[in-house]
Amino acid sequence: MLVSCWSVKGGVGTTVVAAALALTLARDGPGRRSAGLHGNGHGALLADLAGDLGATLGVAEPEGPGLAGWLAAGDDVPADALARLEQPVAPGLGLLPRGSGGLRPQRAQALAGLLSAEDRTVVVDCGRLGGPGAAAVIAAASQRSLLVTRACYLGLRRVGAAPVDASGVVLVREVGRSLGPRDVEDAAGAPVVAELALDPAVARAVDAGLLATRLPRSFERTLRSLA
């Protein structure tokens, strides 16, 4: 199962949703074992196309090519090249780091195919989709394409111009907004499949690099049904 998380406006909480979803799925996996790509282990895999997942989870990212390098390589890249990028970030959870450089779109469909064939659920942080490109190709190829948004007029008015359709919306709820889930669904043309609170404890956990151990139970409960 390939699940993509993306936004149309920066800073809404997309990376935190991707990380929290993958942490939840990794915890739920019966074996909580880390396994290589195409292994038959349980758990989850995070793929970072936006560049903030390592910092969000408080792990140092290795120097090296990452997914950007894989996308830039030729078709003769070794079959295990993707698996070699994976680093363990939490029990049962691996991370494919973004690496530096642009995201070339030519091999994005091939990457989506490999990630879809993975035994574990793969959660991709596609970041803000400003237009066509590798991240949009992967979001469009995902079994679940999740728009992460606030109930924010300035964000919602951009949804129609997004390069992909959402299959569901994750709403990051803020106190005092005049727009609600119905307005979000109308704008996105997709159902709100999860509502998460804007919780200062989450922001503090991210700032401390401790999201993996301090993910609120309410987030886990809400996200469990998403993949």
Q: Which residues bind ligand ATP (CB under 6 A)?
A: 7, 10-16, 50, 52, 127-128, 172, 196, 198-199, 202-203, 206
Residue 149 touches Mg ion, criterion: CB under 5 A: no
Instruction: Judge whether 93 and 126 are in contact, CB under 8 Å.
Output: no
Taking the complex as a whole, the smallest distance from the CB of residue 18 to ligand ATP amounts, in Å, to 8
Residue 15 touches Mg ion, criterion: CB under 5 A: yes
Residue 10 interaction partner, one of ligand ATP, Mg ion, none, beta carbon < 5-8 Å per kind:
ligand ATP
What is the rounded distance in angstroms from the CA atom of residue 3 to the CA atom of residue 123?
A: 5
Q: Across the strands, what pairs with 44? A: 93, 121
Q: What are phi and psi of 43, to 5 degrees?
A: 110, -155
Q: 52 or 185: whose CB is closer to ligand ATP?
A: 52
| Tokens representing residue 86 in the block | 């994976």
Taking the complex as a whole, the smallest distance from the CB of residue 85 to ligand ATP amounts, in Å, to 20
Taking the complex as a whole, the smallest distance from the CB of residue 226 to ligand ATP amounts, in Å, to 15
Q: 12 or 44: whose CB is closer to ligand ATP?
A: 12
| Tokens representing residue 21 in the block | 């979803």
CA distances to 82, 102, 106, 139, 173 from 72, in Å? 13, 8, 8, 18, 37
Q: 10 or 180: whose CB is closer to ligand ATP?
A: 10
Sign of the torsion angle spanned by Cα atoms 151, 157, 162, 165: positive
Q: 28 or 52: whose CB is closer to Mg ion?
A: 52
Amino acid present at 15? T
Q: What is the DSSP string of 23-45?
A: HHHHHHSSS-----TT----SEE
Q: 15 or 167: whose CB is closer to Mg ion?
A: 15
Instruction: Judge whether 172 and 203 are in contact, CB under 8 Å.
Output: no
Residue 90 interaction partner, one of Mg ion, ligand ATP, none, beta carbon < 5-8 Å per kind:
none
Site mask, Mg ion, residues 45-74, x = CB under 5 A?
Answer: -----x-x----------------------
Residue 206 interaction partner, one of ligand ATP, Mg ion, none, beta carbon < 5-8 Å per kind:
ligand ATP
* CB half-sphere exposure, 52, CA atoms < 13 A: 18
Taking the complex as a whole, the smallest distance from the CB of residue 50 to ligand ATP amounts, in Å, to 5
Amino acid present at 11? G
Q: 12 or 187: whose CB is closer to ligand ATP?
A: 12
> How large is the greatest C-alpha to C-alpha distance in the chain, in angstroms?
53
Q: Which residues bind Mg ion (CB under 5 A)?
A: 14-15, 50, 52
